[in-house]
Structure 1
């Protein structure tokens, strides 16, 4: 490496970064996972998020499923949690099978089925005026895109001061 390459900043992610961590002792500690995907052939898509706010005693869980006929299934919950050991709250589970390569997503619960997705601009009205229906999701996710985030270091491995 020449001098310029050594001072280039890179992002380092390790396999343990893919799992949950010991929470910092701050009230608003939040550890989250977000995944989305679309099947253009089937004209379907979905996104999922769990944010563990263990120091506040709850998680934030969101499931959003786009159906081929234009309808959307949506749910948001703040289920109680008492640890940060897993991404598992409110019926949604995101599990790391192999870091950076294979995750699974499962959801068992209800979603608000929106014929007009723009109804969610007024969530109170949307949840009141649209049906809640059973929803079951099972997905295997393969890591095929670049990772985002991690510890910033110089290319030679030395820390940035």
Structure 2
């Protein structure tokens, strides 16, 4: 009979704690370069809260306090694909402009999220783009990114 002990599952909370500590301390140190003392309050607060919450997470995991979490990465591929789509949209908007990239992104993202009715996707993309054009460009006279190809 093989009586090997069960392999202990990797606890993903420890790398998260390390990342939070690293990010918070880098953010805290970079906030010292801000000249206005009033403007330093928010970065100090955010850094302090991140350190505080990371410490709570660390203590919770070290002493097995609370419910033991099971990590399920079944949705990781879908989230990664959507992140890639978002990155492609940001890149495309900088080259071809907001008004050309946005409807394409909206249609592709709705399709990626499970929308199957192309009529709804196209109408939604057009309505959102027109709303943004009328509200921001015409009403508020804001500059919308046009992209480097059309400069």
Category of TM-score, reference length = shorter chain: under 0.3
Q: Which structure would you say has the larger RCO, counting Cα contacts within 8 Å and 6 or more residues apart?
A: 1
TM-score w.r.t. structure 2 length? 0.20
Higher strand residue share: 1
**Bigger Rg, which one:** 2
TM-score w.r.t. structure 1 length? 0.20
